Amino acid sequence: MPGWAGSTILTTMPLFMYQASYTAKSMAEQLKEPQDPVETIRPALEDLGATIVVAGFPFGDYDLMVVYEAPDDMTAASVAMAVAAAGEVRSGKTTRLLSGQELLESLRKRRIITSRKARQPHNSRP
């Protein structure tokens, strides 16, 4: 899936974005003994067949954001479950990211559907 919009990321696997908010207990532990949370979760993702592409610590509703590639949706679901099972996050969200090519294909499909509907007479509906 080369051609990620606005980026030089070249990957053959789907990309996913995982966002998480820490529990108060987890945040307190990190303040006591700071460590890079990305390096903490990296082995678990790799064990599941996922690879971290980029990670960061956004301001706002989430404390951690990880973009990773995984072979399929089931692997992405397993990543979310593995992170949740560790008990360090109070909420998490996984979002599938489309490549630029996938977006173009979906737009083309939408245009095909729209043009088919436009060609159908209004009284042909059952």
Domains identified in the chain and CATH numbers:
15-97 (3.30.70.920)
Q: How far apart are the first and last CA of the chain?
A: 40
Write the pLDDT tens digit of every residue in 66-93.
999 999 999 999 999 999 998 899 999 9
Residue 58 has pLDDT above 90, yes or no: yes
Is the pTM above the cut of 0.85?
no
